[in-house]
Structure 1
Amino acid sequence: MIKLIFGLLLAAFLSVWSLHHISEARSFSRNLAAPPQEIKYFTLGMSNALADLFWLRLIQDMDYCGGVNVTEVNWEEVKKERPKCSDGWVAKMFHIITELSPDFYLVYRVGITALPIIVGDREGAENFIKKATARFPKDWTIAYRSAYFYIYEIRDPVRAAELLKIAGENGAPDWVFSLSARLFDEGGQLLLGISVLEETIKTTKEEYLRKDLAKKLAKLKAKYEKLKK
């Protein structure tokens, strides 16, 4: 009975909290506060349910950065501020959700690409990728997507190649395994970037983000075609 009452109160609180934020204009600057990490000790056995609720909250503002929600109108301006995103609200939400529900696979899979590509939070992405690869050390999708970060964000082809090798050994398409040996040349790096960006575009709903990702993809494809000549 206590758990039921707690769950109902928590759901009501989070519903009001979410509706409050949804009602605010997306172009307004505002600061979002992530739940304290200690909340995982006070869930009364409902940590998975709480993780679900926080996940629903996170996807409403997945593009939040530097106190500003991204919109089609302010996207170009916000991109200039991206270096200010350092282990920000989105990264903290990904972390607490996976603390509450350590095997919440979808959250890991989304986070390792959303943080570096959509949010532009390099520090938050690196921390979360380390967490994801430690939790799912033999998952080829996690390893494959993480390799993009190490190539394009911190320029570490050695670690990227290790991850692609892991992916190839655990169910990835054959070309992924062979690509691991090519990450020390520009062509291999471009192929990895093209593949990950194409996948990200397919799963991104916001049209302005899709357009921006498509521009990045076109540049990589142009470089690759030029390299082949």
Structure 2
Amino acid sequence: MSLARLILATLFCTVAFGSHLLHMRLQQALPLTDPANDKIRLMPPDFLRFVTLGHSNLMADMLWLQLIQYYGATAQEKSSRQYLYPYVDTITSLSPDFEDAYIFGSYVLSDTPEQVKQSLQLLEKGMQQMPDSWMIPFQAGFVSYLHQKDYAKAADYFVLASKRPEAPRLAQEMAAQLNRRTNDYSRCQLGLRLWQDAFENAPDGELRAKAEKRGIETRFHCDLILLEALIKKYQRDALATWEASVAAAKKAEADTLPPRPASFYPASLAELVKAGMVSSLPKDPLQRDFVYQPQTGKIQVKPLPWPAYELELLGYVVGKDPQKKPTN
């Protein structure tokens, strides 16, 4: 090693160690209850890049230890964590492939409602820096699902995770399930295709049977979404037709007005065929008739030949309690 490189290495170690000692002193001296002190505890990113002298990963490791201390101190004193994002952002800027920093940072950020967006912002950064990581989009899926209740966005993240190398089957299964939970017909169809893919690529008979049943249940949901939409449209159209006939009778000063029907729902599902909404009488995925209640417009299905995986589907099964969890 040349004298110049030795001097630079010594200088870096001295500055880095001094920065760490300074941080420790500031942690003890500055109250966490004052958020303004957060900016003093964390050195500016430009300064940190300057002092790394080509050893940015080592500096990121030191900041990682400081982040753990900072997080622990804020948890203990129940103080603001508003500077968590600058910490993990700086760490991942110094070490872009520090996967644990993205995951841990997202986890602690999403624990605070005001920082959920920052959690996803950090994970988006990680997805750009580590395009082969399945864990980062997987974590983003859970953040969107649990903290934002955005099933469509969460499903997209899980789909992305499922396409990464070594991704677990759970990523594809979560994507299929959440696409179905959006109650959007096109999304439900996407979930159905994901279950079909899981069925075709299942490594053993047990997983193949599970994927087949989940796919059938998803097809039930897709059909129910479509039928409910058609029944509501039929109801709206029937109501509009009656209102138009009443208005026409009033305009013509007729002696009597058209009576209001007891229900604007179709008298049977065959009415949907007559109205041109479907080409034939709909059957469920097991080729059985749907159970329809014309008084309320409610559509139901007959009991499945296996305990339903999807609890929401139990609300449509005749005679089943949706609150009672099945045993599989």
TM-score, length of structure 2 as denominator length: 0.47
Counterpart in the other structure of 2:200: none
Counterpart in the other structure of 2:290: none
Check if 1:226 corresponds to 2:221.
no
SS of 2:38's partner is coil
Distance 1:62 1:146 in 2: 21
Aligned-pair CA distance for 1:128: 0.5
Check if 1:173 corresponds to 2:168.
yes
1:1-229, aligned counterparts within 5 Å?
1-22=7-28, 28-30=33-35, 31-33=37-39, 34-39=42-47, 41-42=49-50, 43-62=52-71, 69-71=74-76, 75=78, 88-117=82-111, 121-170=115-164, 171-184=166-179, 226=323, 228=325
> Which stretch shows the higher mean deviation, 156-165 or 88-97?
156-165
Distance 2:139 2:117 in 1: 16
Give 1 or 2: higher helix fraction: 1
Distance 1:46 1:11 in 2: 13
Aligned-pair CA distance for 1:157: 2.1
SS of 1:70's partner is helix
Conservation of the 8 A alpha-carbon contact between 1:63 and 1:119: no
Aligned amino acid, residue 141 of structure 2:
A
Counterpart in the other structure of 1:193: none
Conservation of the 8 A alpha-carbon contact between 1:133 and 1:142: yes
CA deviation digits over 1:114-143, x for unaligned, max 9? 210268622321220110122223322212
Aligned-pair CA distance for 1:164: 1.2
CA RMSD of aligned residues (A): 3.1
Distance 1:96 1:119 in 2: 22
Structure 1 residues 168 and 227 mapped into 2: Cα distance closer, same or farther (>3 Å)?
farther
Distance 1:146 1:29 in 2: 31
Q: Which has the larger radius of gyration?
A: 2
Distance 1:138 1:45 in 2: 25
Aligned-pair CA distance for 1:185: 5.0
Distance 1:111 1:172 in 2: 21
Percent identity of equivalent pairs? 22
Conservation of the 8 A alpha-carbon contact between 1:40 and 1:99: no
Stretches of structure 1 lacking an aligned partner (at least 5 in a row) = 188-222
Poorly superposed stretches of 4+, deviation over 6 Å:
23-26
SS of 1:62's partner is helix
Pairs aligned (count):
178
Structure 1 residues 5 and 122 mapped into 2: Cα distance closer, same or farther (>3 Å)?
same
Aligned amino acid, residue 104 of structure 2:
V
Counterpart in the other structure of 1:207: none
Aligned-pair CA distance for 1:147: 0.4
Aligned-pair CA distance for 1:175: 3.3
Aligned amino acid, residue 14 of structure 2:
L
